[in-house]
Amino acid sequence: MFAQRVSGRDHWYGNFGHYCDDSPYTGAALLKRDGKRFAFGEGGRLCRLNLRTGRLQILLDDRAAGSGSAGPLRRTEDSVLVPSGRFRGVPLYEIDIDGGGLRQLTDGPDNDIEPTYTPDGGIVFCSSRCHRFVPCWRTQVATLYRCDADGRTCACSRIMPNRKTRPGCLPEGRVLYTRWEYVDRNQLLYHHLWTVNPDGSGLMVYFGNQHPGIAMLDAKPIPGGGKVVACFSPGHGREEHVGAVTVVDPRLGPMP
């Protein structure tokens, strides 16, 4: 399963894009100068590729529906989580892997993105519900939230003024994610891997955070063996997460 997107003009952390909130923090002068900038262009698709036969199936095509851009997705054996709709107020949807049964899970004026299933049947995702901005830029901050499988009972795992992206669940249930470490540190150099329990407890470094550089993105567990795979994007990170596909073995310690 994969999402095909039209690249925008934003950075790896600009999942909502710049100026996607009409609050006074954006500033009329900035809007007049640059206009509203979004992370992805119109025309995303949600696709399923059979690696054995090469058959490509289009599950959702926003170019045809005119509904915006299909965002990052997560999958299980029988269903897929996908953000859908326009860039303002993006809810989570769930869809069967054959393209049927599209159903909305969350609702409201905020952006819910990057969902992943938890072993206990819930969903962890990133959201702008905290209503904060990156301290050094004009981009909304995403923090981790959790909801039930039906989208109800949304709770914030841990609100902090630093950005959290790309959650993925480890086999034992901890949430693995990229944390933009912003506390008394250089704002450009620490985007490494952390873990937290689905209830917000047990915050801990998983890999990195001792040495600057490299944005460790899209980390996912490798079945069997305890390792994870991630994209190591150079420096402050590149658009579309361009970088080296890297296998991380936590048994060798948290230092890169």
Q: What is the pLDDT of residue 142?
A: 83
* pLDDT, tens digit, 9 for 90 and up, residues 110-145: 888 888 888 888 899 988 888 777 777 777 778 889
Q: How far apart are the first and last CA of the chain?
A: 30
Q: Which residues contact 77 (CB under 8 A, 6 or more apart)?
A: none
- Of the pLDDT bands very low, low, confident and very high (cuts 50, 70, 90), residue 16 is low
Sequence spans of domains, the chain: 2-252
Closest alpha carbon to 125 in 70, 187, 68, 168: 168
Please report which confidence band the pLDDT of residue 24 belongs to, taking 50, 70 and 90 as the band edges. Answer: very low
CA pair distance 168, 99, nearest whole angstrom = 23
Question: Using CA atoms, how far apart are residues 198 and 195, in angstroms rounded to an integer?
Answer: 10
Tell me which range, 48-52, 75-79, 180-184, is most confidently predicted by mean pLDDT.
Answer: 48-52
How far apart, in whole angstroms, are the C-alpha atoms of residue 76 and residue 81? 9
Give the homologous superfamily in CATH for domain 2-252: TolB, C-terminal domain (2.120.10.30)
Mean pLDDT of 145-174: 80
Partner residues linked to 192 by β-bridges: 179
Phi, psi of 240 (to 5 degrees): 55, 20
Give the pTM: 0.81
pLDDT at 160: 62
Distance of CA 223 to the CA centre of its chain: 21
Confidence category of residue 84, pLDDT binned at 50, 70, 90 = low
Q: What is the share, in percent, of the chain residues with pLDDT greater than 90?
A: 18
Residues facing residue 122 across a β-bridge: none
Give the bridge partners for 82, in sequence order: 93
- Which of the listed ranges 25-39, 153-167, 201-215 does the model predict with the highest average pLDDT? 201-215
**Which pLDDT does position 178 carry in this prediction?**
92
Beta carbons within 8 Å of 28's beta carbon, 6+ residues apart: none
Q: Sorting pLDDT into bands at 50, 70 and 90, what band is 172?
A: confident
CA–CA distance, 62 with 58 (Å, rounded to integer) = 10
Q: If pLDDT is split at 50, 70 and 90, which confidence band does 246 have?
A: very high
Closest CA to 240 of 218, 221, 222: 218
> Can you tell me the distance from the alpha carbon of 3 to that of 39, in angstroms, rounded to the nearest whole number?
14
Average pLDDT over residues 5-26: 59
